[in-house]
């Protein structure tokens, strides 16, 4: 029995989502959506937040587009969307400075760095915000790159593959259905990190598809 830290040298590369995997930031993002949509119909906002929980990994840009063009059509969506994005960013940045790290993730990132395993953070969060949050904690020094929205995760992974950074034998640590589907699509081992995930069925779905499920990075796993 061992933890994932003991498996670091078994992987050729590692992809990490950020919210719910590196940082316990999912509650921060929900609060930021509510702050950004203050004044909108509460019932529509509640439904939107529940949809957000089910679609982890999709960028805020796409979600606000959907809100103001489909769920609660605005008279001037081209003005409403940027304003909501600014409100969201202000609330999100404040929360990211204070939210805790997922237990054990720093030690795992240090383990990969010590073994010179390439690590990339591929997040649905705003790229500048994610880079700022990781840099403030010194975690940026442990990874090869940090990639976020507005570019979708799939596009980032395609670019990494073309650059030779996405290697056979790699692993993807995620907490959302999108993460799992991308890992499968790109031929990466998937590890579902469930401790603070917003995907309630994630543990069951991931296990049914043969993936390793952990609560956090201190979880003891089978094998060498």
Distance CA 166, CA 88 (A): 32
Sign (positive/negative) of CA torsion 128, 132, 133, 139?
positive
Q: Is the pLDDT of residue 222 over 70?
A: no
CB 180 within 8 A of CB 191: no
The pair of structure tokens assigned to 24 is 């316990």
Q: Which 8-state DSSP code applies to residue 48?
A: H
E strands in 36-156: 119-126, 145-149
Q: Tens of pLDDT along 100-145?
A: 999 999 999 999 999 999 999 999 888 999 999 999 999 999 999 9
Same domain, 47 and 58: yes
Residue 77 lies in a domain: yes
Residue 119: its pLDDT value, please? 97
* Confidence category of residue 5, pLDDT binned at 50, 70, 90: confident
CB 96 within 8 A of CB 23: yes
CATH number at residue 192: 3.40.50.1000
Residue 202 lies in a domain: yes
Same domain, 33 and 19: no
Q: Around 127, how many Cα atoms within 13 Å sit in the side-chain half-sphere?
A: 12
* Confidence category of residue 93, pLDDT binned at 50, 70, 90: confident
Read off φ and ψ for residue 173, nearest 5 degrees: -100, 115
Q: How many domains does the chain have?
A: 2
pTM listed for this prediction: 0.86
Q: Is the pLDDT of residue 81 over 80?
A: yes
Which residues are paired to 101 by β-bridges? Answer: 23
The pair of structure tokens assigned to 184 is 């499968």
Residue 203: its pLDDT value, please? 96
Domain stop point among 74, 98, 122 = 98
For 164, the domain range is 4-24+100-214
Q: Tens of pLDDT along 24-61?
A: 988 888 999 999 999 999 999 999 998 888 777 788 88
Q: Is the pLDDT of residue 220 over 80?
A: no
Residue 88 lies in a domain: yes
Q: Is the peptide bond before 180 cis (omega within 30 degrees of 0)?
A: no
Distance CA 190, CA 221 (A): 14
- Buried (b) or exposed (e) across 50-88, using 16+ Cβ within 10 A? eebbebbbbbbbebbebbbeeebeeeebeebbeebbebb
Same domain, 143 and 199: yes
Q: Is the pLDDT of residue 22 over 90?
A: yes
Average pLDDT, the chain: 92
């Amino acid at each position: 029995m061992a933890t994932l830290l003991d498996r670091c040298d078994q992987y050729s590369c590692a992809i990490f989502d950020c919210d719910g995997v590196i940082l316990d930031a999912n509650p921060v993002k929900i609060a930021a959506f509510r702050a950004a949509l203050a004044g909108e119909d509460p019932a529509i906002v509640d439904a939107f937040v529940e949809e957000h929980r089910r679609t982890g990994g999709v960028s805020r840009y796409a979600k606000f587009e959907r809100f103001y063009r489909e769920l609660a059509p605005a008279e001037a969506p081209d003005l409403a969307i940027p304003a909501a994005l600014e409100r969201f960013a202000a609330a999100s940045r404040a929360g990211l400075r204070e939210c805790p790290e997922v237990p054990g993730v720093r030690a795992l990132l240090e383990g990969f760095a010590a073994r010179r395993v390439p690590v990339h953070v591929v997040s649905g969060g705003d790229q500048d915000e994610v880079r700022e949050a990781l840099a403030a904690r010194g975690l940026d020094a442990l990874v090869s790159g940090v990639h976020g929205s507005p570019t979708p995760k799939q596009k980032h992974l395609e670019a990494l593959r073309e650059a030779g950074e996405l290697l056979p034998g790699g692993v993807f640590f995620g907490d959302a259905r999108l993460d799992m589907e991308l890992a499968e699509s790109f031929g990466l081992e998937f590890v579902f990190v469930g401790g603070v995930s917003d995907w309630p069925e994630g543990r069951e779905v991931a296990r049914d598809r043969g993936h390793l499920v952990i609560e956090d990075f201190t979880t003891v796993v089978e094998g060498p």
